[in-house]
Amino acid sequence: MQRAGFVDVAIVARHDPFRGTSKEKTARKFGVEGISMIARKPG
Amino acid sequence: MATSCPIELDVDQLRREISFIYARVAEDPTGDFHFHRGPGYAVSLLGYDAAEVAAVPAANSASFAGVGNPHCVAAIEAGETVVDIGCGAGTDLLLAARRVGSRGKAIGVDMTPAMAERARAGARAMGFDHVEVRVGDALELPVESGTIDVVISNGVINLTPDKDRAYAEAFRILKPGGRLQLADIIVANELSEKIRSDIDLWTG
């Protein structure tokens, strides 16, 4: 994102979207998690 | 469309697989998938506002398959112009449309025609005439440069073979000072090339 030019990049929340799915174990194995983040175009 | 990818991967096959899976989600969200769908999931695991989600037609929210919550990171204001990259059946798009109101505009972009049509139907059902849905790709957004206040996306950039280009496209369409409010998945562990080339894992 910073390579694209974005600034003020920040992760605001983390989520566990695979909890309770058949892929939960795979997600845990690979360290997969959901995130919500913000970034800004300078201006 | 030419795309680049940092690993050996059949980009056209990936595109076909993604279109196939998400067309199935649009047509039959109760089908057998290995990811969650629906409004209950959005509220219970991702922190969406239950009342706001309840205002979205069930035909749209049933196909919701996001992985985070782009609305929780900053408020979308009345009068703003929003683009939802990979809008799917339109839950996030319709929530954004409600927030920007009739003085603003909400534009959805999705590569799956079935999803785009579902999102358009949802906008009609909610009486929104400030919503437009375009069939297009995250790597070549059908949006004019420098015209957008907020870009949102939920669980889509991870499906693109060229993340740098996807971020560059979001950057291109934003106005100076505009915001990218992104929900997606990240992977903490280093993955082998074999795993990164497995299309089943990309689409899962």
Q: What is the pLDDT of residues B20-57, one digit of tens each?
A: 777 777 777 777 777 788 999 999 999 999 999 999 99
Chain B positions in Cβ-Cβ contact with residue A20 (cut-off 8 Å): 36
Residue B204 is predicted with a pLDDT of 55
pLDDT band of B2, cuts 50, 70, 90? very low
Q: Is there a contact between B161 and A25 (Cβ–Cβ < 8 Å)?
A: no
**Per-residue pLDDT tens digits for B103-133:** 999 999 999 898 899 999 999 999 999 999 9
Which chain A residue shows the shortest CA-CA distance from B178? Answer: A41
Residue B9 is predicted with a pLDDT of 61
A→B contacts (Cβ < 8 Å), by residue, are: 1, 3-6, 12-13, 15-23, 26, 29-43
- Nearest CA to CA, how far is B150 from chain A (Å)? 9
Residue B161 is predicted with a pLDDT of 83
pTM given for the model:
0.87
Give the β-pairing of A32-40 and B81-85: unpaired
How far apart, in whole angstroms, are the C-alpha atoms of residue A42 and residue B85? 20
How far apart, in whole angstroms, are the C-alpha atoms of residue A43 and residue A40? 9
B138 touches chain A (CB under 8 A): no
Residue B130 is predicted with a pLDDT of 98
Residue B3 is predicted with a pLDDT of 39
Give me the total of CB pairs closer than 8 Å, taking one residue from chain A and one from chain B. 119
- Nearest CA to CA, how far is A43 from chain B (Å)? 4
- A34: nearest CB among B68, B179, B188: B68
Please judge whether B35 and A6 are an interchain contact, meaning their C-beta atoms are less than 8 angstroms apart.
no
Q: What is the ipTM of this complex?
A: 0.91
Residue B8 predicted with pLDDT over 80 = no
Work out the mean pLDDT of chain A and round it to a whole number: 92
